[in-house]
Structures are given as C-alpha cells and as structure tokens.
Amino acid sequence: MTTDSSHLDDDINRAALAYHAEPVPGKLCVTLTKPAETQWDLSLAYTPGVAEPVRKIAANPEDAYAYTGKGNLVAVITDGTAVLGLGDVGALAGKPVMEGKGVLFKRFADIDVFDIEVDAETPEQFIDTVSRIASTFGGINLEDIAAPHCFEIERVLSERLNIPVFHDDQHGTAIITAAGLLNALELQGKRLEDAQIVVLGAGAAGIAGIHLLINLGARPENILAVDRKGVIHPGRDDLNSYKQAIAVTTDKRSLADAMQGADVFIGVSGPDLVNEDMLRSMAPKPVVFAMSNPIPEIRPQVALALRDDLIMATGRSDYPNQVNNVLGFPFIFRGALDVRASTINREMQIAAVHALRDLTREPTPQAVLDAYGLSKLAFGPDYIIPKPLDPRLKLQVSGAVARAAVASGVARKELPAIYRQ
C-alpha cells in the first residue's frame, strides 16, 4: 500500500534531483552510429563525403530516410502549458518531462528523440514552429499541451505534415484505457455497446477517450461527460466546440446524478472527487478507472472495501491494473515508423487497442513474472492490462499498428518481415 507521508515525498524528491543532476545533468545525450576514428572516417562523415548524400536528398527527399536518422527520430514537443499535474509551468520547465519521454521511447522501442520546448504565446505560433522544423523528423509526439488548444494544434499539424503527429495525452491514454475497459467489461459480463459510462474530466484525455470508445462500439447517448461545472449537456451556454461534440441530452446535472446506475466510471480529473455514496450508487459489477495521479478520484483501498464486485484500475504502479501510456506510444510510433506511415489514423489506434487487449489474455512469460517478482499472473480482475516490461509488446503492438497502416493505405513502405503473421 502507499503512504502520503511527507517523509516519503522528501525522500523521492531528493532522489529525483540527484538522479537528474548526477553524474551529468539531464537524461539524454547524442551518441555516434558511425566510426569517427580516422581521417577517412571524418572525410565520410563530413566534408567532402557528406556532399553525395546531400545531392541524393536534394534530388529525392525520400532518400533522407536512407542516408540520415530521420526515419527513427521522433520530436517530443511541448509548450509547457499542461505539464504532468503541475499545469502551465512554461516550456523550459517541461524539459525534464520531455527528456523522460525520450528515455521511454528509447528504452521500450529503440526510437531516438530530440526533445523540443517551444515558447509560443498562441497555438498558431506553436503550429508554425513545429511545421518549420518537421522535415527533421520521422514523427511528432505532442506532449503536455493544454486543452482545448491541443485539439486544434494536432488537427492542423496532422493535415499539414506528411509524417505521424500524435498527441499522447489524448490518444495514448484513450488507447490504454479502452484496451483495459474492454477486458474488464467482459470479465463483468457486460458489453461496451450496452454500458452506461461516466467520464469525469473533459480535457484532452477525456474527450479523446470518448471518441475512441464510440469508434469501438459504445453508444454516444450512453456516455455522460462531467467537467468542473457538471454534466456536459446541450443546454449549457459555456461549451466550446469540442465539448459540444460530446454533449448528451439528459436531466442529470451533477457527478452524483451521473454515477447513479453507471456501469463504468473513467476519471481523468483530480484527487478524491468520487465519494462513497457515488460508488455505492453504481450498477452491479461496476468498472472503475480512477486515473488521477498521484491521488486517484477514489482510492482503491476505499473502493474495494465498499464494493467487492468491482474491477478497478488507476494510473499508479503500486496498484494492479495501471493505465500507463508507456504501453502505447513507443510501440505505436515503432509500427508507424517501420512502414513510414504518413499519419497515425483511427484504424491504427484501434489496432493498438485490440493488440493490448489480446496480449493480456495470453500466458504470461517467465520474464514478466521475474521482472515484477510474481509467481503467477493471469487474465482476471487484477490483470486486465499488460505490464509495461512485457517483452512481447514491441512485436505485437507495433506489428498490429504497422499492419493497420498498410491496410488503411497510409504506409509508404512495405511491411517488414517481422510483422508478417
């Protein structure tokens, strides 16, 4: 179990500062992929030898994938307006998080990253900056950009660029949540198309999650979104276009109203916002995804003491069923890059959902048990989402994404043999 003690917080804060500062500041560096030991090496790496690949790329821009690192390089880019749970701390303060994202890309999918922090006062400035540097990269991972600007930024960049643009706070969270939810509903004997769903939090993750669930078969009229002012319904006069798109006609106005009889609660909001009465009012065999970090919307020890018929997930690693975006974005980009996809479309996202869902049902390899100090791990209420250190993720999720890119016509390269199944 966890503790909220200040002593533990002080310990991790000191350790985190030391980790980031020593033995050299930061978490990423540039390393060489070619020899640079002799005069001949240097003449190939720079002048005069470098002129020949320059000529090739000038004549055919696609040759950049053959002669540079573009095809395995992703930009992790932020404006610093929604950094973790810290809010608008500014672009530079977001750099440790962007470097951390780079660590995860490299560790889990062997993808190189440049982290880029953009001081932009408007979405248009941010879009212009990213558009101008995009030719450097094989893909763009947008990160920690506040809603509603994040929706417009991703939409415009996706339309303007011919490389994948992916806002992980939207789609990464939505994909992992959907995979776990499909498994949880099956275990509870329920179907997505019949489920009454409450989504608390109508920012990037909440809105993207609703759209993905609808694409997977949920009925729009069965999904009630709740923000700080209550249930999102068409009668409100304070809704932006993104919230208007998820508004549902209902007489329910508060979170407590919405929770009555609900089969599913998805929280992407803040700590301790769901009380005991709300949980008690849910339908039999509910599914609760309380993903606020570090403190969930309702704490697992509270929820499980009240309802022994629920299945629960959180965003924390110290409870079962962690909704962790590292299960998605490295492998989604790996699959997209490996077939040189021009975008990450809905078909590729849905393929990732089903790959994650299916992987959880397969026998767990010993390597996973060893990594987590477990004697057994099998599909069930405490295992509805794969573990991040599962070595099968790279092949199965990346392969599913790559095959979906080919099938949907956005791949510009043949499917690698490793993904042909």
- Positions annotated as catalytic residues are 46, 101
CA distance 22 to 11: 16
Candidates 389, 352, 392, 385; CA nearest to 368 is 389
CA distance 285 to 184: 10
What is the Cα 100 distance to its own chain's centre?
14
CA distance 278 to 276: 5
Q: Return the ∠ at Cα 306 (arms to 304 and 312), rounded to 5°.
A: 30
Could you please report the per-residue DSSP string of 124-166?
HHHHHHHHHHGGG-SEEEE-S--TTHHHHHHHHHHHH-SS-EE
Q: CB-based contacts of 210: which residues, under 8 Å, 6+ apart?
A: 199, 223, 225, 246
CA distance 173 to 365: 25
Q: How many Cα atoms sit within 13 Å of 224 on the Cβ side?
A: 24
CA distance 27 to 245: 40
Q: Return the ∠ at Cα 222 (arms to 217 and 225), rounded to 5°.
A: 110
CA distance 224 to 189: 21
CA distance 229 to 239: 10
Going by their DSSP bridges, the two strands 197-200 and 112-117 should be labelled as: unpaired
What sign does the dihedral 353-354-360-366 (CA atoms) show?
A: negative
Candidates 135, 117, 410, 181; CA nearest to 313 is 181
What is each CA distance from 388 to 360, 368, 404, in whole angstroms?
Answer: 11, 9, 22
With contact defined as beta carbons under 8 Å apart, do 99 and 118 qualify? no
Token pair 């629920």 in the structure block, residue? 310
